[in-house]
Amino acid sequence: MAASFARSAFRARTSNPTARLSTTHATFAARQASPIFRRFLATPRGEQPRIRIGSEAPNFQAKTTIGDIDFHKWLDGKWGILFSHPADFTPVCTTELGAFAKLKDEFEKRNVQMIGLSSNDLSSHSGWVKDINELSQTNLQFPIIADADRNVAWLYDMISAPDLEKLEREGGIAATIRSVFIIDPNKKIRLTMMYPMSTGRNTSEVLRVIDSLQTVDRKGVSTPIDWQVGEDVIVPPSVSTEDAEKKFGNVRELKPYLRYTQI
């Protein structure tokens, strides 16, 4: 990186020392302000991938509590939820995994399989799962990825800005934030949620958005705020009222751009 800075300074040389200093400073400042530059500075493993809705979920191989997996093969044409945890034997994570384990049947009804991730090795995971089952009175069956080296956390951009800055200054290894990725049967990322380490997630909201995504895919509609299964849905602006009435029956128009129907 130092060599890169030196080359930039060399290219900026002029016969005027003041101009040379000004040009070099401006070039460095502009690069510092660039998101790409900042991401590169903070990424000792290369530039960090950018996770976007609609992009293919990055594939990886990892050790888990059910054995070694290839993530894309593990998805196996189903919906998937990948959710991360900062560490084993931590209080918020323990409550979360217990709650998700209790909803196993609800997720299976929706053809969804879950996979957790925690920044510890397998030997730590096994003891933690025992605690989770004891405290939540459940039987956790979905796999938990062992990501002690943070390879998957890095691949899925699960590192907070302060930790990226700390890596830039000091090196070492970063903690993993609470992330949720909902992935469809085509391996496309359909929804992401990012939480700070101090805030637990809401399992009901995860189920709600899966219901919404699956309804949208099946029916070609949109869902309004706080929507739950059985409630009215929104006719997308791209569908005419006439076509919507043919498809769904009654259409309730509040504004030309806001129309509700039942499915």
3-state secondary structure of 125: helix
Q: What is the mean pLDDT of residues 151-166?
A: 81
CA dihedral for 59, 60, 64, 68, sign (positive or negative): positive
Say yes or no: do domains 61-200 and 220-261 share a fold: no
Domain 220-261 has CATH 3.30.1020.10: yes
Over residues 62-109, the pLDDT tens digits come to 999 999 999 999 999 999 999 998 888 989 999 999 999 999 999 999
- Please report which helix (H) or strand (E) contains residue 162, including its range: helix 161-170
Structure tokens of 64?
């888990």
- Determine the average pLDDT of the residues in 124-132: 93
Active site residue 172: no
Please name the residue that has the structure tokens 């990055």: 58
Nearest to 147, CA basis, from 24, 53, 223, 62: 62
pLDDT tens for each residue of 178-206: 899 999 999 999 999 998 888 999 999 99
Query: Is residue 55 predicted with pLDDT exceeding 90?
Result: yes
Question: Containing H/E element for 246?
Answer: helix 241-248
Task: Give the integer Cα–Cα distance in Å for 108 and 111.
Answer: 5
CATH 3.40.30.10 fits 61-200, yes or no: yes
Listed by start position, the domains of the chain span 2-33, 61-200, 220-261
Q: Is residue 4 pLDDT above 90, yes or no?
A: no
pLDDT on residue 172: 59
Provide mean pLDDT across the span 3-28.
Answer: 39
Q: Which of 75, 93, 112, 159 is catalytic?
A: 93
pTM score: 0.78
